[in-house]
Structure 1
Amino acid sequence: MQILEWFGIVVAALAGLLLFLFLRRRVLMRSGGTITLQVRVTTVVPGRGWSAGLGVFHGDELRFYRMFSFSPRPKRVLTRGGLAVDCRRAPEGPERMTMPGDWVVLRCTSFQAPVEIAMAAGTVTGFLSWLEAGPPGPPGSVTPRPAIRPTPLDS
């Protein structure tokens, strides 16, 4: 009888963990501005080291949350002001086995280190638009516009 009780406890714990992962993903997607992408977290083995997750656009940041993680914090935060796309390519070698056929790999440079991001071809256009939508010049270089004061009307 104890074996069945332990088996029931293990099944209930696994179901609870899966429910938590599902709810975490729903909470992240609720704010809008989310995309499915993969980020290369290690380059030790060529073509390997990709981590699937959600990218959440939050102001001038793209926050990457791993798909199967319990952490409430993003794994990586990419700032729009310090991010530039170096090249764009199709998945090659072992990457073709882990990514859908219409995905594109973007090699980017950032303030921290070079980063590779993979996403659907349709998502790349939106990502590049977000990246280019920032104000020109270094971050914080935009000066506020002077207030327009109404002129009194002549009667």
Structure 2
Amino acid sequence: MPWDILLVTLGVVAVILVPFVLLYIRRRWLTGQGGLFDCAFQVQGVPGPGWMLGVARYRGEQLEWFRSFSISLRPRLVFPRMTTAYVHQRIPQGLEAIALFEGSVVVTVQNRTTGATDALAMASGEALALMSWLESAPPGSSFYLPVSPD
């Protein structure tokens, strides 16, 4: 009988710990793929503040956003640099201040092709980095300035 109880107890502990271990391994893998920072995403059309906690990273010409509590290795959202524009930023208000990471600012971005807006919450330093990244020319791009014939 004591072996049965021990096996059941070990099974219950394993079932509880495995998701946490998987989340830890995923976070370590994502961090190893590039600079990762805390970034929440506001879901439109849900009651309440509607924030999902997550992490984001810059990868090539895209900002990739991943949910914090998921084991997926694929980004949930992708913001291409060429079609994403910075709109404004603000301080979290009301319940947002409780739901978001401490010291976060809410940054609104807009898709230039569809006109859709999204809100991301991140630390103020990361918001400045996002603005710089969006406003800078993509690496390797060159602008052709026509020369007027004389």
TM-score bin (small chain): 0.7 to 0.9
User: Which runs of no fewer than 5 residues in structure 2 stay unpaired?
Assistant: 145-150
**Aligned residues of 2:101 and 2:122 also touching (Cα < 8 A):** no
TM-score by length of 2: 0.81
Aligned residues: 139
Structure 1 pair 128–59 and aligned structure 2 pair: CA distance change class (3 A): same
Structure showing greater Rg: 1
User: Which runs of no fewer than 5 residues in structure 1 stay unpaired?
Assistant: 136-140, 145-155
Structure 1 residues 37-60: Cα deviation after superposition (integer angstroms, max 9, x where no partner): 1011233224x2111111011011
**Aligned counterparts of 1:94 and 1:132: Cα–Cα separation in 2:** 31
Match of 1:127 in 2: 130
| SS in structure 1 at match of 2:39 | strand
| 1:30 aligned residue (7, 29, 32) | 32
**Aligned residues of 2:86 and 2:134 also touching (Cα < 8 A):** no
**Aligned counterparts of 2:44 and 2:16: Cα–Cα separation in 1:** 28
**Aligned counterparts of 2:105 and 2:143: Cα–Cα separation in 1:** 36
Structure 1 residues 59-84: Cα deviation after superposition (integer angstroms, max 9, x where no partner): 11011011110112111011111111
TM-score by length of 1: 0.79
Structure 1 residues 76-118: Cα deviation after superposition (integer angstroms, max 9, x where no partner): 0111111112221110111011124421101111145311000
Map 1:55-70 to 2 at 5 A: 55-70=56-71
Match of 2:7 in 1: 5
Deviation at 1:142, TM superposition (A): 4.5
| SS in structure 2 at match of 1:14 | helix
**Aligned residues of 2:57 and 2:65 also touching (Cα < 8 A):** yes
Superposition RMSD on alpha carbons, in Å?
A: 2.3
Match of 1:16 in 2: 18
Moved more, 34-43 or 75-84: 34-43
**Aligned residues of 1:80 and 1:134 also touching (Cα < 8 A):** no
Structure 1 pair 69–100 and aligned structure 2 pair: CA distance change class (3 A): closer
**Aligned counterparts of 1:89 and 1:101: Cα–Cα separation in 2:** 14
Structure 1 pair 52–100 and aligned structure 2 pair: CA distance change class (3 A): closer
Amino acid across the alignment from 1:121: S
Amino acid across the alignment from 1:28: L
**Aligned counterparts of 1:51 and 1:44: Cα–Cα separation in 2:** 11
